[in-house]
Structure 1
Amino acid sequence: MAKNWDVIGHQNITKYLDNCLERNRLVNTYLFYGNKHLGKTTVANKFAEKLLNNDGKVSTDLFELKLEDDSKVITIEQVRDWQRWLSLKSFSGGYKVGIIHEMETLNRQSANALLKTIEEPSLNTIIILISSAWQELLPTIVSRAQKIHFLTVPNKELKEELSNKEVSQDKMDKIIDFSLGKPGLALKFIEDSEFFDEYLKLDEEIGKVTELRLAQRFKFIENYLTGKTLQDNNILANNILKHLEFNLRKRLLNQLDDIKLFNALTKLEDSKKLLKYNIKPQLVLENLFINI
């Protein structure tokens, strides 16, 4: 665990940020990007804590902007409120820190409004942008930020960092495998037994899908996609893809030649893209299950 950061992995990132703080070589805008559950938010909050020197206490000099409940986008009204707050002087006389979570959920209007703040930042203002889909961000925003890429944590390191947790060896081995190098997901498995049990059950079911006849595969999809809305089923479908990818990488490496494995994983990646374009999840999964 990185010294004084309470973060699993990412020592290269925390060391870099510590050096920036020690040498006072800070930039106005940082972009933390990488897959979900890697620790971007944890590092951002800890970085803000160090900037504000508040030991994790609630600070009036920190404003986090995120999706509101039941909303799909961060609105321009939210961005403008955030900008007004950033324009005020620090209550403590030091830095003001603004964090924006899930940057990819800003619509075009909101992103353009944000761009002005990034181009003309207030004095002693640090902005931290967090995204798991940075390719979807406004290029002019990306180009003006210090980009920090979060990668997966090696299994060996993840296991060492979690060795103090009261979990059986067998369960810990499964948690490490399922986490795919994502500390946030590993911690959720440990802290939420029901979530882990459901995950394990689904993984076992999906592990058998490739052995089923096509009609049975379609029935599996029909039974699993029980969401009330397209968005609900989109989330469920992505969950299936996540498990299927894990199974393909784990089980089929020893059963398929490299070309077949590559083709199966390529089709899976294509399915992820189709879901992003709001194609009906059932059709996406059926098409994938026909071709693997």
Structure 2
Amino acid sequence: MEKLPLLMTASVDTRGMSHARFSTKEREEMYLSTLQLYGRKLLDKGNYTLVFADNSGWDLGRLKAGLPEKYLHKIEFLSFDPADFDISRGKGYNEVLLIQAAIEQSVYIRRAQAFLKVTGRYPVHNIRYFLDYGSREIMEKGKELYIDIKDHNLYRKLGLNWCSRFADVRLFGVTSAFFLRYVATENHTLNDMEGKLLEGLMYNVIKPRMESRQLVYRFNREPRFGGREGTLIPAFSFDEDQRSFKSRLKRLTGNILRLVAPGFLF
């Protein structure tokens, strides 16, 4: 089966972006560790390819040097001029610009006309499952979007002011045409500083199309993210360390709910 290229979005140097965390050295080490993990889980296994796209103009030489030569033949490294991005609008706006640039420049993405996007700093330990499943849905079944959304009012009923309607944009598969038509055209509305986030934009794209057979908006299992969150969130279920007991308990609960109540988008 033909596989979607895995697009890792990255910003090694945040250049003082508001709310961004960790030093450039720490971030570079996180990206390298994730690349090494995906090399073992994917590039050693078969016909997988990877696109690493950075929007800070960072010299990617040390990342390449930290990988075995056999992986480099299956990875495209793209580093874009930071002058083309606007850090004052936050990460969502700039990530859309970065994905657009990758669609234009990547040979792998141009060939597949689709990709599975993952936030580069977060290693997804069960990434092969999602890459295989997303490839089957998009490449074989002709779906346009493979993503996971939350859509419930439980928090409101409990009197909690937590967001319960959003798309998880850390990991999703999409055709280039769908992304350019429905997401990139609305990028001008995004501004993290004003609370206009990519998670909300993607949810708004999906919500009126939930009856469409061309969209998959619920994963069958929880992604097993690793690493440390880049943004701190005031919520009971949140933990900065995605390997913590609380995070593991949250994943277990999510997996049980996906099995016993698949229509409850929690």
Superposed pair shares fold, TM > 0.5: no
More helix by percentage: 1
Q: Which has the higher contact order (CA 8 A, sep 6+)?
A: 2
More strand by percentage: 2
